[in-house]
Amino acid sequence: MPNLEHPAYPAATLLQLESLVPCRESQVSMLLSIFGERQQFSFPSIFIYGHTSSGKTYVMKTLLNTLKLPHVFVNCVEYFTSRLLLEEILMQLQSCSETQQTSHVPCDNFSDFVRLFKQAVASRELQDQTVYIVLDRAEQLREMEANILPAFLRLQELTDRNVTVILLTEIVWELFRPITGCFEPLTLYFPDYSIAHLQKILSQNHPPEYSADFYAAYINILLGVFYMVCRDLKELQHLAVLNFSKYCEPVVRGEANERDTHKLWKNIEPHLKKAMQTVYLREISSSQWERLQHDNGEPGQLKGISAHTHVELPYYSKFLLIAAYLASYNPARTDKRFFLKHHGKIRKTNSMKKHEKTSSHLIGPKPFPLDRLLAILYSIVDNRVAPTANIFSQITSLVTLQLLSMVGHNDQLDGPRYKCTVSLDFIRAVAR
C-alpha cells in the first residue's frame, strides 16, 4: 500500500520517490499536496526548518528531480552576495528552460532580477508550470541587504508569475522576521529522526559480505554509545563506516561467530568510547584512525591535535606567561600577600573570601596593567632581571602568538593592559 498518491504524477514515480526517502513519507506527501499540479498556483513561499541532517536538502532535491519539476537549487553560503545569488538563479533558469548554451547575465539589483526573471520564464517550457527556487542555508540571506529576504518571500506577487520560493534552514522563522514585517511564508517543520528511524536508515545499506542482522546489531551498539551525545545522521554514518572493520575483527579471526552478540559487544564498546574522545572531536583524523585499526595499534596512543598545543618558549617568556596568568586570575588585593616576603597581617574578612570564590576560573581572565605584570615577574624569578628591551619585546611577541591579548587598544606605549588567554593545563605544562 503506497503512502504517496497524487493525481498529477504517475504511480510508479511516486513509488520510486517513496523508496528514496525513508521515514519522510508524511513530509513528502504534505509537500506534494501543497505543490499541487504543475499548472496550478502554489504557495508564494515555503519556509522549511529542521535539525542538522534531518533530510531537508535531500528530500527537496530528490522530490524535485524525480518529479522533473523545473527548479533552481542554490546554496546561499556558496553565493554569499546578493549579486552572485541573483546571477546564479538566472543562469540555472536558463539551463532548465532550454538546452542552448547558457550565458552570463549581469544583474546587480533586485529590480533587474525581476525583469530578467520574467524574460527567462517566458519560454514555452516554463510558461504554464510552477517554477521552484530553493534557497539552501537561507540563514545567510539575513546577512545580505535588507530587501533581499522580503523580496524573495513575495516574489510571486512581484513578478506576477507562477513561482514558489522554498527556504531551507536550521533556524526558526521568528529569528528571520524583519522589523517592519513581511509576507508570512508557510512554515513547515522537518522533525528529527527518532532512534528507530536512525536505526532503519543506518542499517539500510549494509556491507554485502555480512548479513543484515549482523550489521543491524552493530548499529544498535553504536547508537547505544553515541545517541546520548549526537543525533546527527551524517556524523553517525561516518562513525559507523569507520568502526565497522574493528567490529568484524573477531569474526574474521574466528574467535567469535556472527551470533555471539555479547562477545562482539565487549570487544567494540571500549573502542567506541575511545572514538568519542578522539574521532568524534576530530582530534585524530579519520585516516589516522583507520590506519591505527589496520596496524592493530592501541587507540589513543596517537597524540591528538590538542596535545600538540605545547609550545617551546624561551626562559623569560615562560616566566612572563606564568606571571601574566597569575595576574589575570588573581585579584590585585591579594598580590601583597602572595608575592611579598614581609606582608602585613592577614585579615580574613568575610567579604574577601566570598569575592575570591566567584572570581576564580568561572568568569574568565581579567585585564591587568603592564606594571603589575612586571612586578609579579620580578618577584617570581629568583635572580635579578634587568628590564631590557628583550623583555619588552618578548611581551609583544607573546601578544602576536595570541598567548596574551591586548585589551582596549587606546595606547600602545603608555600603560597598556593585557589579558592572559591560555588555559590552566597549558600553564601547568609550562610551569613544570
Residue 327, all three cell numbers: 595576574
Write down the residue that cell numbers 508524511 correspond to. 26
HSE at residue 372, side-chain half, CA atoms within 13 A, is 21
Cα–Cα dist 191/138, whole Å: 18
Cα–Cα dist 187/184, whole Å: 9
The phi, psi pair for 313, rounded to 5°, reads: -120, 155
Cβ count near 268 (within 10 Å): 22
Binding segment toward another protein, per CB under 8 A, in 49-57, 59-67, 331-339, 346-354: 49-57
CB nearer to another protein: pick between 294 and 303: 303
Binding segment toward another protein, per CB under 8 A, in 41-49, 64-72, 94-102, 255-263: 41-49
Burial (CB count within 10 angstroms: exposed 0-12, middle 13-18, buried 19+), residue 165 = buried
Write down the residue that cell numbers 552576495 correspond to. 81
**What's the helix, strand, coil split of the chain in %, to 5?**
50, 10, 40
CB nearer to another protein: pick between 139 and 258: 139
CB nearer to another protein: pick between 280 and 378: 280
CB nearer to another protein: pick between 203 and 278: 278
Count of residues in contact with another protein, rule CB under 8 A: 70
Cα–Cα dist 123/425, whole Å: 66
Among 3, 33, 81, 390, binds another protein (CB under 8 A): 33
The least distance separating another protein from the CB of residue 207, rounded to whole angstroms, comes to 27
Q: Would you count residue 39 as binding another protein (CB under 8 A)? A: yes
Which residues in the 387-406 window bind another protein by CB under 8 A? 402, 405
The least distance separating another protein from the CB of residue 184, rounded to whole angstroms, comes to 7
Task: Give one DSSP letter per residue of 207-231, joined into a string.
Answer: -TTS-HHHHHHHHHHHHHHHTTT--
Residue partners of 429: CB distance under 8 A and separation at least 6: 310
Binding segment toward another protein, per CB under 8 A, in 46-54, 55-63, 86-94, 209-217: 46-54
Which residues in the 306-335 window bind another protein by CB under 8 A? 306
Binding mask 172-191 for another protein (x = CB under 8 A): xxxx----xxxxx-xxxx-x
The least distance separating another protein from the CB of residue 257, rounded to whole angstroms, comes to 30
Residue 13: name the closest of 5, 23, 22 by CA. 5
The least distance separating another protein from the CB of residue 328, rounded to whole angstroms, comes to 11
Among 231, 246, 372, 417, binds another protein (CB under 8 A): 231
CB nearer to another protein: pick between 281 and 332: 281
Q: Would you count residue 243 as binding another protein (CB under 8 A)? A: no
Q: Would you count residue 269 as binding another protein (CB under 8 A)? A: no
Among 43, 80, 210, 316, binds another protein (CB under 8 A): 43
- Tell me the CA end-to-end span of the chain in Å, nearest whole number: 70
Cβ count near 14 (within 10 Å): 19
Using DSSP's 3-state secondary structure scheme, residue 24 falls into: coil
Q: Would you count residue 36 as binding another protein (CB under 8 A)? A: yes
The least distance separating another protein from the CB of residue 19, rounded to whole angstroms, comes to 22
Cα–Cα dist 310/96, whole Å: 55
Distance of CA 135 to the CA centre of its chain: 18
Question: Which residues sit at the interface with another protein, rule CB under 8 A?
Answer: 5-7, 33-34, 36-37, 39-44, 49-52, 54, 109-111, 114, 145, 147, 150-151, 154, 156-158, 162, 170-175, 180-184, 186-189, 191-192, 194-195, 227-231, 276-277, 280-281, 283, 306, 361-365, 402, 405, 421, 423
